[in-house]
């Protein structure tokens, strides 16, 4: 038997070669959206995806993402620790509990799911399983859970208490074939099936009144070589099994007694090394991940349950796609790419075909194996919570709560100290940590963010940077931070520890152009861009799997005069750069390799001395703070990414606005006005235009940068 466990000790090229000739390896645990007995919703009630959970085998964690129900984009919101080598994650049908099979520690981690999607370990954080637990599933009633243990040739079976905790049944395990990998429950909750990787069979069971499994009269049916995953369609009439060494999907009809019978055409071809199969909630489409050629095979399901390859039989994924999950609404699909450390995200067309979303991928911690989703009657929405302002001459950060009407109110402790001349403030995507670049002390101050939003210096309150740090940013996965050093023309690069502290990478800096002022990372976490003020360029980099920056083949692109700030829109398709001396904004399309290309109209006019530019979360509007004309320019963003001034092209700010930001909900905008020590605050209309709030501005000490945070509900 060939087990995925070996991936951690064998060069990847050899593993792929073995895959193509011997066996499938990999896995995934997409629960909601696949018919794996985890409560995928069916029927006519509107269902929305809310949060996604990814089991990261090499990071011993589950990462959490909010799902934008309109676009399908995932946004990282945090992660929690698991046992050793988590392979799969599933969400119970109620969306209140999550379970993770830890292959390396022979346990299942169990969590409560908060209304904001966060995971909290239960009072008993883990329960024991058999040896090498691979996949965990929950039956449609939410009363029982089952774990396939591929080291002990068993399925562990549990009852689920009213608090979500797992308790082993009176008969804690049942015997399977050799090397069971995946267990699924049919939609009726009466039958269970287990893919036995080592014996090339599917074990089939009836589920008793207490949830216990009993082998059917015919306890197993044959599958292809090295079966990996098994799924049942939403109607409960058909089952599909991937066979990694055969490069096929076996297809079965399910009898009235739950037994599997091969269809007239018993198998269909896949790509190389198929590992995971799922069916969309409508029961019309099926998708299979192929780790050997980095693709997803896509099929239509006929009225008799048979699979037919679509006109475009495969779509490209990231490296080593382990699992595929369809969201509960049937609009989006996601693939966990084990070696690429990414999730590929797709929209599902009218005919079931997958189209890469924008951005194509989002970064994950190391070794993503599987993805599960929670669902609800309403989408996840973000609520603005806190704002932080870096005060250049006051050597402080002002901290505010954001009211229900968007207005800022100073916290009980209105400021925290920094080092000398703070110029930039950033918050990590989880909202747990904040970082401030201190220009004259050549440091970054680092803080933890309390439950009330207040900042507390970390045990190590600062880390060193290059000379003249000007901008600090955190990548979308919350794993890396980058700081521009304007005097010595470098970007300092750091890893972010589990406690939020920054540690310089092995290569602590990379070169930029002259006087780099701003650094940003695209939404996929694959590319970084730096605006170089004195060389009139943007440096462009790829981000490696360890977070380090590497200059692209074309290391810089030209801008207007005096580029100050660079930003990327939420889709990751467009970039914008303010040109302080040229009174323009340069606009670019971003290629599939991350490189910038000037648009047909390479620049648009701004006010005098434009310093910063931001794009709202919907990607429909852009705003530019004009330092010398005391205005904010406002634009609509066209379908090709180009900026068009709104009917009211500017709004008045305070004196010398340096920075503009939009809150995560997209309802409010704030401008730091250095000249008169205020923050202007605006509501954003349905057409994107800014309107001053009843309290148009608040006083603050020497503001030069402002950032806002929010939480999901």
What pLDDT is stored for residue 177 in this prediction? 97
> What span, in angstroms and rounded, lies between the C-alpha atoms of 182 and 194?
6
473-489 pLDDT tens trace: 999 999 999 999 999 99
The pLDDT of residue 40 is above 80? no
What pLDDT is stored for residue 8 in this prediction? 29
Model's pTM, two decimal places? 0.91
Contact status, residue 354 vs residue 333, Cβ threshold 8 Å? yes
The pLDDT of residue 23 is above 70? no
Contact status, residue 429 vs residue 437, Cβ threshold 8 Å? no
What pLDDT is stored for residue 37 in this prediction? 35
SS3 33: coil
Give 33's pLDDT tier (boundaries 50, 70, 90): very low
> What span, in angstroms and rounded, lies between the C-alpha atoms of 581 and 606?
11
> What span, in angstroms and rounded, lies between the C-alpha atoms of 436 and 119?
28
Give 219's pLDDT tier (boundaries 50, 70, 90): very high
The candidate with the shortest Cα–Cα distance to 34, out of 184, 210, 175, is: 184
Which of 11-25, 79-93, 148-162 is predicted least confidently?
A: 11-25
> What span, in angstroms and rounded, lies between the C-alpha atoms of 513 and 507?
18
Q: Residue 645 pairs with which residues in a beta bridge?
A: 635
The candidate with the shortest Cα–Cα distance to 153, out of 170, 183, 135, 131, is: 131
> What span, in angstroms and rounded, lies between the C-alpha atoms of 457 and 443?
13
Residue 64: half-sphere exposure toward Cβ, Cα within 13 Å: 27
The pLDDT of residue 637 is above 80? yes
572-595 pLDDT tens trace: 999 999 999 999 999 999 999 999
pLDDT, average across residues 497-506:
97
119-178 pLDDT tens trace: 999 999 999 999 999 999 999 999 999 999 999 999 999 999 999 999 999 999 999 999
Q: What contacts 406, CB < 8 A, 6 or more positions away? A: 384, 663, 667, 668, 681, 683, 693
Which of 29-38, 260-269, 501-510, 630-639 is predicted least confidently?
A: 29-38
What pLDDT is stored for residue 46 in this prediction? 76
The pLDDT of residue 22 is above 80? no
The pLDDT of residue 530 is above 80? yes
Angstrom CA distances, 504 to 418, 465, 481, 482, 491, stand at 20, 9, 9, 10, 11
Phi and psi of 18, rounded to 5°?
-65, -40
Number of neighbours of residue 117 by Cβ within 10 angstroms: 22
Contact status, residue 528 vs residue 481, Cβ threshold 8 Å? no
> What span, in angstroms and rounded, lies between the C-alpha atoms of 76 and 201?
38
**Domains of the chain from N-terminus onward:** 4-376 (2.130.10.10), 382-712 (2.130.10.10)
Number of neighbours of residue 28 by Cβ within 10 angstroms: 35
422-464 pLDDT tens trace: 999 999 999 999 999 999 999 999 999 999 999 999 999 999 9
Average pLDDT of the chain is 93
Residue bearing tokens 């369609």: 233
> What span, in angstroms and rounded, lies between the C-alpha atoms of 189 and 139?
6
Angstrom CA distances, 275 to 99, 142, 347, 369, stand at 21, 26, 21, 11
Contact status, residue 494 vs residue 509, Cβ threshold 8 Å? no
The pLDDT of residue 47 is above 80? yes
Q: What contacts 330, CB < 8 A, 6 or more positions away? A: 33, 280, 281, 282, 348
> CA 371, 373, 379, 385 torsion: positive or negative?
negative
185: left (phi over 0), alpha (psi -120 to 50) or beta: beta
> What span, in angstroms and rounded, lies between the C-alpha atoms of 643 and 265?
54
Q: What contacts 440, CB < 8 A, 6 or more positions away? A: 419, 420, 421
Tokens of 599: 């648009």
Query: How much of the chain exceeds pLDDT 70, in percent?
Result: 94
């Amino acid at each position: 038997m060939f087990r995925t466990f070996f991936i951690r000790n064998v060069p990847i090229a050899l593993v792929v070669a073995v895959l193509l000739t011997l066996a499938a390896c990999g896995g995934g645990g997409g629960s909601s959206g696949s018919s794996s007995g985890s409560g995928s919703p069916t029927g006519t009630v509107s269902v929305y995806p809310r949060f996604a959970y990814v089991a990261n085998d090499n990071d011993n964690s589950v990462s959490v993402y909010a799902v934008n129900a309109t676009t399908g984009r995932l946004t990282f919101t945090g992660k929690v620790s698991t046992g050793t080598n988590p392979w799969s994650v599933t969400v119970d049908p109620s969306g209140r509990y999550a379970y993770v099979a830890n292959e390396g520690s022979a346990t299942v981690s169990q969590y409560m799911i908060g209304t904001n999607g966060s995971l909290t370990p239960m009072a008993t954080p883990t329960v024991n399983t058999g040896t090498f637990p691979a996949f965990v599933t929950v039956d449609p009633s939410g009363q029982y859970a089952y774990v396939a243990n591929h080291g002990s040739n068993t399925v562990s079976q549990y009852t689920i208490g009213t608090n979500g905790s797992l308790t082993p049944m009176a008969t804690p395990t049942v015997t399977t074939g050799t090397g069971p990998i995946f267990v699924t429950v049919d939609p009726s909750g009466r039958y269970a099936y287990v893919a036995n990787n080592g014996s090339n069979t599917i074990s089939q069971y009836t589920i008793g009144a207490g949830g216990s499994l009993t082998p059917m009269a015919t306890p197993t049916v044959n599958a292809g070589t090295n079966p990996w995953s098994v799924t049942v369609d939403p109607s409960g009439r058909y089952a599909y099994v991937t066979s990694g060494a055969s490069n096929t999907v076996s297809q079965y009809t399910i009898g009235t007694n739950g037994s599997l019978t091969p269809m007239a055409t018993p198998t269909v071809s896949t790509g190389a090394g198929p590992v995971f199969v799922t069916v969309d909630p409508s029961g019309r489409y099926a998708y299979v991940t192929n780790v050997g050629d980095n693709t997803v095979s896509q099929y239509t399901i006929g009225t008799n349950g048979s699979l037919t390859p679509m006109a475009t039989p495969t779509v490209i994924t990231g490296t080593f796609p382990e699992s595929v999950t369809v969201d509960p609404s049937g609009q989006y699909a996601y693939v966990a790419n084990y070696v690429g450390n990414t999730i590929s995200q797709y929209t599902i067309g009218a005919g079931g075909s997958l189209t890469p979303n924008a951005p194509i991928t989002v970064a994950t911690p190391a070794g993503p194996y599987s993805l599960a989703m929670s669902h609800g009657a309403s989408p996840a929405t973000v609520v603005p919570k806190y704002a932080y302002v870096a005060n250049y001459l006051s050597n402080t950060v002002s901290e505010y709560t954001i009211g229900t009407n968007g207005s800022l109110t100073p916290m009980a402790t209105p400021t925290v100290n920094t080092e000398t001349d703070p110029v930039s403030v950033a918050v990590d995507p989880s909202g747990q940590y904040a970082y401030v670049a201190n220009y004259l002390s050549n440091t970054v101050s680092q803080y933890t963010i309390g439950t009330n939003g207040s900042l507390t210096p970390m045990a190590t309150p600062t880390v060193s940077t290059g000379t003249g740090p000007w901008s600090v940013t955190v990548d979308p996965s919350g794993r890396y931070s980058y700081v521009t050093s304007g005097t010595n023309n470098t970007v300092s690069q750091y890893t972010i520890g589990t406690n939020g502290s920054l540690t310089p990478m092995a290569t602590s800096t990379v070169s930029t152009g002259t006087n780099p002022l701003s650094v940003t990372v695209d939404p996929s976490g694959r590319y970084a861009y730096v605006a170089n003020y004195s060389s009139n360029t943007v440096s462009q980099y790829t981000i490696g799997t360890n977070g380090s920056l590497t200059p692209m083949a074309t290391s810089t692109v030209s801008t207007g005069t005096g580029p100050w700030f660079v930003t990327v829109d939420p889709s990751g398709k467009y970039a914008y750069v303010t040109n302080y001396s040229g009174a323009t904004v340069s606009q670019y399309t971003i290629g599939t390799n991350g490189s910038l290309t000037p648009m047909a109209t390479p620049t648009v006019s701004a006010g005098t001395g434009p310093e910063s530019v931001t794009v709202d979360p919907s990607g429909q509007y852009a705003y530019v703070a004009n330092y010398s004309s005391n205005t904010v320019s406002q634009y609509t963003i066209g379908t090709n990414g180009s900026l068009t001034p709104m009917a009211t092209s500017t709004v008045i700010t305070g004196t010398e606005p340096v920075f503009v930001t939009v809150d995560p909900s997209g309802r409010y905008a704030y401008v730091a006005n250095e000249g008169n020590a205020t923050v202007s605050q605006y509501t954003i209309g349905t057409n994107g235009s800014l309107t001053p709030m009843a309290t148009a501005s608040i006083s603050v000490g020497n503001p030069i940068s402002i950032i806002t945070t929010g939480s999901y509900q």
